[in-house]
Amino acid sequence: MTPFSKKSILIISATTLFALSGIAVAGNNAEKQVKAGFDCFNAGPSNWTHCWRAKDFSQPAIPVNVYSEDGSEFLGTELLIRQDLYHGQPCPQDNGEEWELNESLGYYACHHFETGHH
């Protein structure tokens, strides 16, 4: 397993802070996120509402706010990193499992809350 490079750690740390600041500014539910300019959609095995400010998929990392299926309850954050930046690092939550590949996006995902899916 290859560790994160210093550049990758800096990018991931900055985007995580951005995600957390977006939560405070935009509100605590998906409806408020949409009003603040986030794109939201339902996805995943639990059909949770995912909200982000991603305009394209060339960014090295994308912070995502995750809400309940109906968008009313904030569950936590998720970080997406491009496939080329992922080198088998464990996800701090989800029992330290590896990040999950979203093949359609070309990004690996790590939830920053316990999902119960592992």
Q: Give CA–CA dist 102/34, Å, rounded.
A: 23
**How many residues does this entry show for the chain?**
118
Determine the pLDDT at residue 65. Answer: 93
Q: Give CA–CA dist 34/26, Å, rounded.
A: 8
pTM for this entry: 0.71
Determine the pLDDT at residue 24. Answer: 45
Q: Give CA–CA dist 16/11, Å, rounded.
A: 9
- pLDDT tens digits, 23-59: 444 568 999 999 988 999 998 878 999 999 867 778 8
pLDDT (average), residues 53-72? 88
Determine the pLDDT at residue 3. Answer: 52
* Tokens coding 8: 């990758």
Q: Of 36, 118, 24, whose CA–CA distance to 77 is shortest?
A: 24
Average pLDDT, the chain: 78
- Determine contact, residues 80/62, Cβ cutoff 8 Å: yes
pLDDT (average), residues 13-24? 47
